[in-house]
Amino acid sequence: MLSEVGEATVLIQPGKVYLVGAGPGHPELLTLKAAELLKTADVIVYDRLIQEEVLALAKVCAERIYMGKPVGKHDSRQAEIDELLVRKAREGKMVVRLKGGDPFLFGRGGEEAEFLAEHDVPFEVIPGVSSALAAPLSAGIAVTHRDAASSVAIVTGHEATKDTSRVDWEALRKLDTLIFLMGVHNIGRISQELIAHGRDPATPAAMIQMAFWPEEKVVTGTLGSIAAEVERAGIGPPATLVVGEVVRLREKLKDSQRDLHPSEGGPRFGSAPMPDQLLRMAMAGLGSQVLGFALSLALFDHLEEWQSATAIARRFDLHAGATAEILDSLVALGLLERAAEGYRNLELASVYLRSEVPQSLRPVLLHQLGQFSRWEAVAAYARSGQPGQVRSGQEASDSDCCECLAGFSAPAVVKRLDLAEKGPVLLLGWGGEAYRAALTRRWPDLALEIRNPLVGSDPLAPPPPNTYGAVVLSGLVARSAQEAELILDASAAALQDDGVLVLHDAFLPAGVLPPEVVLGALGRHLTCRPGGNWSIELLSAALETLGLRDVRAEYLPGGTVIVTSRKVRNGPSQPRKRSQTAAASR
């Protein structure tokens, strides 16, 4: 293939286009072939129904081009996509055209393949799991069943309102299971046509929105009622309609346990930045300061054998608590290991970070770190255990940070809750509107109330006791220990018996922690954050004191933890005059 560059003519080996089905959206439901192509593609052209975790498989230098089609502009947008695929392939690039579901099932993959063939562009089609089958499965509906259905039809919902529709409604009347894709806006017409052609209005029906996505929602009814149910629940595209007796199976199958990993992202999909990686990058400066301070002490020279934090603090005349935090940070950075015996070097530190070893890089690292980092604040904290001064304007930045992180995590927190029967719900602290939106998407009729006692200096006005089925509290760590105790106390008293308390914050989970969590905790102490750091063990003990049981904790992307607990019957119904819980720094 010839390409003109200025006055020269260059021979370019033609590229290839892969029309790839991404399946229903969850990254673990990709085919192995699709995942491998995403890792090697030069260009990825994708639609709006592709999760970020799927795109994260791409190599960092890959060109990602979004070509989602706005409603009503499919034809003009499709022409742009066709031309783009040909142009990129003629640049000698390997192109992945990533489409939700299967590329040849209502995905215009056939049209794109035709266009590529007409323009002599090499192409290959990689199948994907269609939402026509995946969405019912996600909702617990088997589209065929020996006792209920031996035939299935998959129909586009776009044709329902066309006068020249090719949909044979009379033929559909005779089939067992009907699956309509892209039919949300035409659900009323679809129901009317099926009933008009003889389908029983009492036939079970279900609409599944955003299958295998965090926003997945399912509504059920009958052919005669499903349009009203969809409107009442606020179901929007993309959604899949299933009509037939197989919908009754949902009551038996809907609670099956999935082994799919959470779709918020994580290290297994981490070739492009994910939330935790971005936070890790933001904390890299503090990591450099901790490493610079440790190297300036020649700390690694004394950690070839197990040493306790107390022994290290005594050797260098440091504060024991602050020393433990710094050592934990070095553990999170992969330089030390920690056990009951204390801390010691891992191989990386033993070989390169000690002073008197043949491959020591200590002088080089100290020089380079000293050019771009300063660790005076870490050193001062290590010696005294006392934080520095809060910078001017830091309070506003703290508030913005808390609100942003709470809002970012709200969908992931709500996904892990079952509050259908727990109204009214009190949303206490940061991210109230984000929590309201996430909860309303799942349970439109759930009664909600928002309060944020964490803004300003006014004390919390205790909410009415024994009132709420659930309290969701975000932002406890941002307050002083005394304020945090009072808020916890009032939250527990506000719960009804068997009510659920949901806490979301930068609590410290047990075990070896990710660097962004450990460095974040150290950073709060360095910069005079009032609340210190709550460990999960300490928080559990405080909740037990307040009459809360069944304490469960789960680490979330973004360096935060969700902790849930349940109020036992006849638990405290009034806030205590003086809290006996205590928060301590790890």
DSSP 216-264: -EEEEEETTTHHHHHHHHT--SSEEEEESGGGGGHHHHTTPPP-PPPTT
CATH code, domain with 159: 3.30.950.10
Give burial (CB, 10 Å; 0-12/13-18/19+) of 283: buried
Are residue 141 and residue 165 in the same domain, yes or no?
A: yes
Block mean pLDDT (10 aa), the chain, length 586: 40 76 88 92 85 81 73 61 90 90 90 94 94 91 91 87 78 93 91 93 94 86 94 90 93 70 42 54 78 93 93 94 88 82 85 88 89 85 74 64 83 87 88 91 91 68 86 76 79 91 77 60 61 68 87 75 84 51 38
Residues 373 and 455 in one domain: no
Q: Does 416 map to a domain? A: yes
- The shares of helix, strand and coil residues in the chain, as percent rounded to the nearest 5, are 40, 20, 40
Torsion of CA 512, 517, 518, 523, to 10 degrees: 180
The active-site residue out of 1, 33, 69, 301 is 69
Residue 322: what residue type? Answer: A
| Predicted pLDDT of residue 285 | 79
Considering the domain architecture, whether residues 554 and 444 belong to the same structural domain is answered as yes
pLDDT value at residue 230? 93
Close Cβ partners of 162 (under 8 Å, ≥ 6 residues apart): none
pLDDT of 559 reads: 66
Residue in 116, 91, 87 with CA at minimum distance from that of residue 18: 116
580 belongs to a structural domain: no
Distance from C-alpha of 138 to C-alpha of 154, rounded to nearest angstrom = 17
Of 36, 38, 89, 86, whose CA–CA distance to 64 is shortest?
38
Do residues 19 and 67 share a domain? yes
Q: Which two tokens stand for residue 112?
A: 């794109």
Q: Which helix (H) or strand (E) holds 324?
A: helix 320-332
Q: CATH number of the domain at 456, please.
A: 3.40.50.150
Residue 33 lies in domain: 14-129
The end-to-end CA distance of the chain, in Å, is: 64
Please indicate whether residue 458 is annotated as part of the active site.
no
Among 338, 364, 384, give the residue marking a domain's end.
384
18: nearest Cα among 97, 113, 109, 80: 97
* Assigned domain for 47 exists: yes
- Out of 78, 95, 129, a domain closes at 129
Residue 571 and residue 574: Cα distance in Å, rounded?
9
Contact (Cβ atoms closer than 8 angstroms) between residue 45 and residue 116:
no
Same domain, 421 and 555: yes
**Residue-level pLDDT at 122:** 94
4 domain residue, yes or no:
no
* 88 is annotated as an active-site residue: no
Contact predicate 129/101, CB 8 Å: yes
* Domain assignment of residue 301, yes or no: yes
Residues 108 and 30 both lie in one domain: yes
Q: Which two tokens stand for residue 108?
A: 């215009």
CATH of the domain at 371: 1.10.10.10
Q: How far apart are CA 313 and CA 317, in angstroms?
A: 6
**pLDDT of the residue at 160:** 67
Q: Looking at the domain assignment, is residue 69 inside a domain?
A: yes
371 and 407 housed in the same domain: no
Q: 387: cis peptide before it, omega within 30°?
A: no
Q: Are 227 and 343 in the same domain?
A: no
Residue 11, amino acid:
L
Residue 314 phi, psi (nearest 5):
-65, -40
Catalytic residue, candidates 42, 47, 489, 505? 47
Which residue, of 219, 253, 287, is where some domain finishes? 253
Rounded to 5 degrees, φ, ψ at 182 are 60, 45
Exposed/middle/buried for residue 291 (C-beta within 10 Å: 0-12, 13-18, 19+): buried
pLDDT of the residue at 105 = 93
Answer yes or no: do 159 and 247 share one domain.
Answer: yes
Residue 271 is assigned to a structural domain of this protein: no
**How many domains does one find in the chain?**
4
| Known catalytic membership, residue 93 | no
Write down the pTM of the prediction: 0.51
Sheet with strand 217-222: strands edge to edge: 152-156, 177-181, 239-243, 204-209, 217-222
375 and 283, same structural domain?
yes
485: closest CA among 523, 521, 538?
538
Q: Which two tokens stand for residue 523?
A: 């950073």
3-state secondary structure of 172: helix
| Domain membership flag for residue 125 | yes
| DSSP H or E stretch at residue 133 | helix 131-138
575 in Cβ contact with 462 (< 8 Å): yes
How many other C-beta atoms lie within 10 A of the C-beta of residue 402? Answer: 22
Q: Residue 27 is which amino acid?
A: P
**380 and 401 housed in the same domain:** no
Q: Are residues 399 and 546 in the same domain?
A: yes
